[in-house]
Amino acid sequence: MLTSFGDRDLDLRLSNPLLLRAVLEDKRYSKSRIVLLHASYPFSREASYLASVYSQANILELSGLVHCQLTHLLLQVYLDFGLAIPKLSVHGMISSMKELLELAPINKAIPKKRLNEIVAKNGVALSFVTMGFPSHVDGPADGSGLTAVGEARLMPDLSTIKRIPWEGKDEWVPFDSSPYCSSSAFDAASPVLREVAAALQSLGISVEQIHAEGGKGQFELILKYTICTKAADNLVYTREVIRAIARKHGLLATFIPKYALDDMGSGSHVHLSLWRNGQNVFMASDRSSKHGISAMGKEFMAGILHHLPSILAFIAPLPNSYDRLQPNTCSGAYLFWGNENKEAPLRASSPPGTPDGLVSNFEIKSFDGSANPYLGLAAILAAGIDGLRRHLPLPEPVDTDPNPNVLQRLPASLSESLDALHKDDLFKEFISDKWLTAIKAIRKADIDYCTKHKDACKLLIHRF
């Protein structure tokens, strides 16, 4: 029974498969086999409903075509969408599949032995007409002699069956391969990004900018600044929104620090400033201050720089995090700060609108998307407070490419940052012993696991 997908001369209201209920209930056809071609598209959901009514459905995959078999008494009904689905866009195919499987029960699988016996005995049907299709249209070429009448029976050699190499595995490919800030990358992801921005706005989370980053399929989303605890909340909500909307579009959004070693990593950069009575007190009050930072701001920043090796155990918590924190990747591999220096782990920032010669905030580039934002920010604040109360001096900035012969290398592995945390007594005061014990144990467990499982990061895309 055919809805004639693509025909213009039919009243599609009469193609609704629900109109077949009387036929399906008629005992005269109880021994018949009925095939709904094209899965009754565009009435896929209605076909799925019939599958739920006439239960005991099986999903059977043969030669790339998938049939949904329903059994009611001796009646057999098939939904065939082998020719309909390829005519749709990618999103159309996903939507159609979801509608087909929305109600149809699929919990009963055909055993391999039975499948092999059916295929070996009866083969696979192939309509004569499909063998006459040229490359530009799904219809027989003139003069081919092939029509809609009749079918061939393909008898497979089951001894040649091989298990497909990706069966049971997730092999994800980048959504896009456009370069940094490419408009084509943004255009390709526009439906997803616009929906993300709208959802965040509905949650009261302001998005200041979205742009394509340097990695394949990588985008950066910038949230408006707010108080520390609310910023952590907003980050958690944002991650959840992005994951959910990406999944809705058939995509996987991941914040893993380094999925592919030959591509750019993903961070979760933090910008910090200090405020009192509505005034930014990190920024110097006038241009007479060296570097445009207040004395309070310098001490706060110095505390973070001093404790940064141990802070990394909080803000770069996975072994995979250190695959991102490499030299010449704008992620901060050496211990220094700089003015608008993208290679610095701590970067003094003067965004548009900041008075000349002044600095309004600084960025911590080491923070990544696998970190707990509450613990990470707590560690950063503890280090900044330590700098304030000890009046730690801020060293001179490095405003050139970092020289590895002069600068100290930050921990190059989670093991090294964990060692730094063991030697740093600061966090015992600000974070309870129980928390520190748990954090250190978790880091050690991750180190041990990833040492034994070199591809562990590939599985982490589902967690972060």
User: Domain end: 130, 160, 190, which one?
Assistant: 160
Statement: residue 71 has pLDDT above 60? no
Predicted TM-score of the model (pTM): 0.65
Kindly state the tokens that stand for 110.
């055909």
Statement: residue 437 has pLDDT above 70? yes
- How many residues in the chain? 464
C-alpha 405/C-alpha 409 separation (Å) is 9
Q: Both 277 and 132 in a single domain? A: no
Q: Both 186 and 84 in a single domain? A: no
Q: Both 346 and 231 in a single domain? A: no
Kindly state the tokens that stand for 43.
């009435």
Residue position matching structure tokens 């209930």: 25
Domain annotation covers residue 182:
yes
Domain annotation covers residue 205:
yes
Q: Is 283 helix (H, G, I), strand (E, B) or coil?
A: strand
Tell me how many domains the chain contains.
3
Statement: residue 75 has pLDDT above 80? no
Classify residue 283 as exposed, middle or buried by CB count within 10 Å of its CB (0-12, 13-18, 19+): buried
Long-range contacts of 292-297 (CB under 8 A, 24+ apart): 292/348, 292/350, 292/357, 292/358, 292/359, 293/348, 293/359, 293/394, 296/388, 297/273, 297/359, 297/362
User: Domain end: 221, 253, 285, which one?
Assistant: 253
Task: Please count the other Cβ atoms lying within 10 Å of the Cβ belonging to residue 157.
Answer: 7
Q: Are 213 and 263 in contact (CB under 8 A)?
A: no
Classify residue 69 as exposed, middle or buried by CB count within 10 Å of its CB (0-12, 13-18, 19+): middle
User: Is residue 126 very low, low, confident or very high in pLDDT (cuts 50, 70, 90)?
Assistant: low
Q: Which amino acid is at 64?
A: G
CA dihedral 229, 235, 237, 240 (to 10 degrees): -150
User: Is residue 187 very low, low, confident or very high in pLDDT (cuts 50, 70, 90)?
Assistant: confident
109-128 burial, b at 16+ Cβ within 10 Å, e below that, comes to eeeeeeeeeebeeeebeeeb
C-alpha 439/C-alpha 307 separation (Å) is 17
Q: Both 244 and 291 in a single domain? A: no
Domain annotation covers residue 29:
yes
Dihedral over Cα of 5, 9, 11, 17: its sign = negative
Domain annotation covers residue 228:
yes
Region 103-115 average pLDDT: 49
Q: Both 338 and 453 in a single domain? A: yes
Q: Both 249 and 271 in a single domain? A: no
315-334 pLDDT per residue, tens: 999 999 999 999 988 888 99
Q: Both 246 and 277 in a single domain? A: no
Q: Both 328 and 416 in a single domain? A: yes
Task: Please count the other Cβ atoms lying within 10 Å of the Cβ belonging to residue 307.
Answer: 23
Q: Are 158 and 120 in contact (CB under 8 A)?
A: yes
Domain annotation covers residue 168:
no
CATH number at residue 313: 3.30.590.10
Q: Both 192 and 111 in a single domain? A: no
The DSSP result for 136-198, as a single string, is: T-SSPPTTS---SS-EEEE---GGG----TTTT------S----TT-HHHHHHHHHHHHHHHH
Question: Which span out of 253-257, 284-288, 354-358 was modeled with the highest average pLDDT?
Answer: 253-257
Q: Is 345 helix (H, G, I), strand (E, B) or coil?
A: coil
Domain annotation covers residue 260:
no
Q: Both 151 and 191 in a single domain? A: no
Classify residue 327 as exposed, middle or buried by CB count within 10 Å of its CB (0-12, 13-18, 19+): middle
Domain annotation covers residue 108:
yes
Range of the structural domain that residue 313 is part of: 267-462
Q: Both 126 and 200 in a single domain? A: no
Beta strands 108-109 and 58-62, pairing class: parallel
C-alpha 86/C-alpha 25 separation (Å) is 32
Residue 204, CA distances (Å) to 201, 222, 269, 367 in order: 5, 14, 21, 24
Q: Which amino acid is at 295?
A: A
C-alpha 64/C-alpha 88 separation (Å) is 16
Domain annotation covers residue 6:
no
212-243 pLDDT per residue, tens: 888 888 889 999 999 998 899 899 889 988 98
Neighbouring residues of 42: CB distance < 8 A, sequence distance ≥ 6: 12
Kindly state the tokens that stand for 21.
């209920």
User: Domain end: 160, 187, 215, which one?
Assistant: 160
User: Is residue 1 very low, low, confident or very high in pLDDT (cuts 50, 70, 90)?
Assistant: very low
C-alpha 48/C-alpha 57 separation (Å) is 10
Q: Both 123 and 37 in a single domain? A: yes
Q: Give the chain's mean pLDDT.
A: 78
